[in-house]
Amino acid sequence: MGGPLQGLKVVELSAMGPAPHAAMMLADMGAQVVRVVGPAPPVGGYDVGTHLQRGRTTVRANLKDPDDLAGVLGLVASADVFLEGYRPGTTERLGLGPVECLALNPRLVYGRMTGWGQDGPLARHAGHDINYMALTGALHAIGPAGRPVPPMNLVGDFGGGSMFVLTGILAALWERERSGLGQVVDAAMVDGISVLSQIILELRSVNMWNDTRAANLLDGAAPFYRTYETSDGGHVAVGAIEPQFYALLIDGLGLSLAELPDREDPRQWPALEEILTAAFAARNRDDWADVFDGTDACVTPVLTYAEAAENTHIAARGALSGSGRHVVAAPAPRFSRTAPVAREPQGETDFESILSSWRAS
């Protein structure tokens, strides 16, 4: 087992979305993570054997059964981290709330992952990634002028969710080294998405961003920061913000800077976009990839997930492995001495076997 978190013991209450994603990363980095799942496979396939469940041991438990609940509490008593992703009040009703768990194990870091947070008017209401993004302003800013477009669930569930509960857990573990005490980490997607939006909020504060969609530097309005369709129906991504990179873009397209509309004047962006659109439409995606390969023009082909796994740079890094529909991500980030390892799911076991293993480690 590799990774810098070797020896860390984690109890994960099986859930959907960001909590298991955070648990996967903890396991990748070497933590001993035990997933507590219900007695029957849950709806949606979030069970043993999926890539998202890699690296963890699974124990089945009916949390309404006193013996099974006692088994989970036995794990909690020996754990460093407890991670749950239920609506507020759920673990309290099950007898696994922060009060019970921290009384049993004062050094425990209790991670709570929700969309709305543990308090506030919406705390106990249902929601999904798209809803949490909607109330933060982030969803309104993404997409073409006609309507907002959800960026899958990357911004809410994982960017604003699992990354923040993971950060909170690691910060609380560091603080525990000084205080000797654990604490509760309240990670809410609405909070995390808002932090991710800080640079946009900063730009708004100095009148460099407005709330009109597709009208700003980084939202597809600027002709030098957007995607273009190629002759084969593919696309290329252009990020030539700096003047020196823009000059290389124009040179690669066979155009003349002196003959183009002024890119510094947003009023001329539509005319410039029309010219660049026509230029990129003249050749296919992979031709343009060859033209700009090895340059600093900031032009890259837009790849599918299957194609990404075959890309020379992604392959050299080993960031993705597999092909077609069976592509998985390697652990990240990387460490110079304690390399993370993506291990297969460790199968099912029982409470006593887990505790024996933990006592021996």
The pLDDT tens digits of the residues spanning 146-181 come to 999 999 999 999 999 999 999 999 999 999 999 999
Q: Which residues of 143-159 are buried (b: 16+ CB within 10 A; e: fewer)?
A: beeeebebbebebbbbb
**Mean pLDDT value across residues 339-352:** 91
Active site positions, annotated: 128, 157
3-state secondary structure of 239: strand
Q: Quote the percentage of the chain above a pLDDT of 70.
A: 97
- Hey, what amino acid is at 113? M
Are 163 and 176 in contact, with CB atoms under 8 Å apart? no
User: Tokens 């754990």, residue?
Assistant: 79
Confidence of residue 43 (pLDDT cuts 50, 70, 90): low
Are 116 and 190 in contact, with CB atoms under 8 Å apart? yes
pLDDT digit string (tens) for 90-142?
999 999 999 999 999 999 999 999 999 999 999 999 999 999 999 999 999 99
Taking the CA of residue 241 as centre, how many other CA atoms within 13 Å lie in the half-sphere pointing to its CB? 8
**Mean pLDDT value across residues 313-322:** 94
3-state secondary structure of 313: helix
pLDDT at 49: 53
34, two tokens? 């035990």
Confidence of residue 360 (pLDDT cuts 50, 70, 90): confident
105, two tokens? 């194990």
Are 85 and 18 in contact, with CB atoms under 8 Å apart? yes
240 vs 256: CA distance, rounded Å: 16
